Chains A and B, each alone.
Chain A
């Protein structure tokens, strides 16, 4: 009768992932097959290619997750799957697999919001962590500030009006010739550099919790083009450091403001950009100064993974929620 052991499936972008999570908190397995190399020559994720690769990987990844957990489908109590947001073709691969498994084994099925999943990465990594808290989710696809008063409840404080933070980092990395994905490359190059050598705008720093990164991105592109036209030497590392600092500045300022306004003592970050060392460093130092405990997940839980989907699904299942077999992908799914 328990709903303890959850099989999670995540295929919203370019990682095929499956995981087994016990009690919403304990990771029994967490398998991620990245397609990064497949998309590298195109300079970004190609949806049709990603969907095709998911079809090839989905069953081996699910099988490996069950094996590593030392269980079979017969031991699993429910299936959780990412419903959106994400690439519709990619999402449909995971959803089709999840529905067929749930139907064939007579298991409860739950569709999970991918961004909600990112919040749960921290609950998996830190067993003592409890709401209330503020969560900053930043990746190539999203930039969201949440207030989480208790498990299963969210208030979206602000999102980005245009580009996601990770998207801006990737774009600038590309024009700097740093390849794809560019976020980690910028992070590496910027270490130990003086971020004040180049001056970038900070968008909407004083206004609420909304973000905007497209203006910053455009400023970087124009500055680089002008320098190249005029034959100036651009120090790529200084340029990267300054750009990263502009992004991090906005993220840190708004996250700390949200924590202060909501009166919470815990601030968590999640998503691929949560792996950024400069963001972590500044949040840790400035968060502590503001009396906050700051948490982030380990690298394998920062990037897209299925353990976070299983964990988020667990809490929804406990609340009695179920998804029907007509469950469809929702590429623009919003949090509720």
Chain B
């Protein structure tokens, strides 16, 4: 089974080609200089060409990181996945970004805490334990103030259990995390701290094998946050209770 993995959740993003259990190709850029709109499709074309995958031949499935992350970035990835799925007539699987990060962290004996920087001392975060390779959520994806989140992690990780942090949300606040947890807090080595699209492809392929395909028409990003206009409107029209 040939599966394409797409990730445009954060400044890091790219595409991966997975054939069965073999990662055939991956193209990742971590840049602020260009946008996903400019680089996603050229990257897909490049990596397919290099791998000898003929675009006219299609693939067997599409996996896409659903978020959370940058709203605009997520839309580019999700819409691209929808349209590829439609044009090739193949299934699509949306993969929660934080779950893919936990999968990539790959540490079975720890609590895994992926986090994406949401600015203003907030993070998009979740917590998982692995069963086999599979991330099982302890806390689902949410948007939290950093300190609240660290409190929650402290409650989750009982005793002397190690806590694996992954993602730019942990990197940005690493000093704070270390102060709180000391040597129990660990993170993957440089080069594995931000999401690789290979992990998205692998989790997506797993979902597709389990028959957990998404409807490409109704698939939407995992925003985890209303638009500012909706927040303001809700605040103004809140019923007194």
Contact = CB atoms under 8 A, between A and B. Distances in A.
Contacts of B229: 42, 46, 48-49
A96 B75 CA distance: 9
Interface in A296-336: 324-329
3 closest A-B pairs by beta carbon, nearest first, are: A100-B83, A104-B87, A48-B227
Contacts of A49: 227, 229-230
Interface of B: 35, 37-42, 44-45, 55-56, 58, 71-72, 75-76, 78-84, 86-88, 216-218, 220-221, 223, 227-230, 233
B221 A328 contact: no
B71 A104 contact: no
Identify whether the interface residues of B are mostly helix, strand, loop, or mixed.
Answer: helix
Nearest to B58: A104
A20 to B, nearest CB: 15
Given A101-B83, A104-B87, A95 B216 contact: no
Contacts of A48: 71, 227-229
Contact of B45 (A63, A73, A97, A325): A325
Contact of A93 (B35, B40, B79, B233): B79
Contacts of B78: 55
A105 B79 CA distance: 16
Given A46-B227, A49-B229, A55-B220, A328 B56 contact: no
A96 B80 contact: yes
A99 B217 CA distance: 17
Contact of A42 (B72, B82, B88, B233): B233
A101 B86 contact: yes
A100 B80 contact: yes
Given A52-B220, A96-B37, 9 more contacts: A52-B75, A58-B79, A59-B82, A96-B40, A96-B80, A99-B83, A100-B79, A100-B81, A100-B87
**Do most interface residues of chain A lie in helix, strand or loop, or is the interface mixed?**
helix
Contacts of B220: 52, 55-56
Interface residues of A, number: 36
Given A48-B227, A325-B42, A96 B76 contact: yes
Interface in A220-258: none
A73 B87 contact: yes
Given A100-B41, A103-B44, A104-B84, A92 B230 contact: no
A93 B79 CA distance: 6
B62 to A, nearest CB: 10
Interface in A64-78: 73
Given A52-B223, A55-B220, A100-B87, A106 B55 contact: yes
Contact of B88 (A41, A46, A104, A327): A104
Contacts of A325: 41-42, 45
A52 B227 contact: yes
A93 B88 CA distance: 19
A60 interface: yes
A259 to B, nearest CB: 39
Contacts of A60: 217
B172 to A, nearest CB: 24
B39 A326 contact: yes
A336 to B, nearest CB: 20
A160 B37 CA distance: 30
29 contacts: A41-B233, A42-B229, A48-B71, A48-B229, A49-B227, A49-B230, A51-B72, A55-B220, A55-B221, A59-B83, A59-B86, A59-B216, A63-B86, A92-B75, A93-B75, A93-B79, A96-B83, A97-B82, A97-B83, A100-B80, A100-B81, A101-B83, A103-B44, A104-B84, A104-B88, A105-B87, A106-B55, A325-B42, A328-B38
